[in-house]
Structure 1
């Protein structure tokens, strides 16, 4: 029998439908980092991101168990779309835009699994990630969203366009202008990553 980690997303979902809860756990573990990171960058609150992350998988379980899952081979983009919609719903509900936090929340990059680094390398990496996050916070929301979905969630521009309800060219333009703005900020602030 093939180990669960070797199965495709579609095969894991089919196994879960047949009653194998370990298959769903494998699916969550496979995609948790990309989903959580994307949610966290959109909502900028660790605890809210954790709540939305859980809500995403509750919706996924309900949809799969209800026999309504039809995204064969496209689990991650589908789950990302659910996450994005839940983030949008949250902001509509509270009728505010995300706030920029500079508090002492645990850095998301400490949660991700990296190879063991020296304390100096860890400090340098943390400072670089903090600089990038701070600069991302200064971008217009549409540019920031496209950059996060592309670089942190690893979605294609077609998937981003569908998720943000814009054309592929608009998504590409937002990415281009976002990167140009990030470069300008780096030059103005003399930041080297």
Structure 2
């Protein structure tokens, strides 16, 4: 039986060297704190247990591949894994907006919502980050119009003047930007959560 005084880092090393009991010691040591952390996010015992199990499946896979390198920071690392799994859970289980080709792009209405709880804030930040990355994949003229319209809140009249094109051309570029962005979102399988 291992002593409680054995550090997390030493237990991780022992487990990576083939000592299966070292992992049990780590799980038992941090179970309560991790379980409480997950429960505080999801408020559901079944989901908490699922996320808890998924967290340790991921931990085991990472350790078995020898990819763990955060010596001495085992618990924060495990909590980060569970935190990401909680975000995944909320993203998968929230209703997704449907993209009909009319009006402005609904995701940006979602992103402007101010009254979000902690989980939704995390998801919102991740979606914003994902969308910003994808915008860079658009053709330059479409990207320019989209950024002016969405992030700078410019009118199509102002966009047309600044880019030296007609309003119809600016509208057309915005339309194509949104069509292309939807395609890229589907290709990357990014989940846009509806609040």
- TM-score (norm: length of structure 1): 0.49
CA radius of gyration, larger in: 2
- TM-score (norm: length of structure 2): 0.49
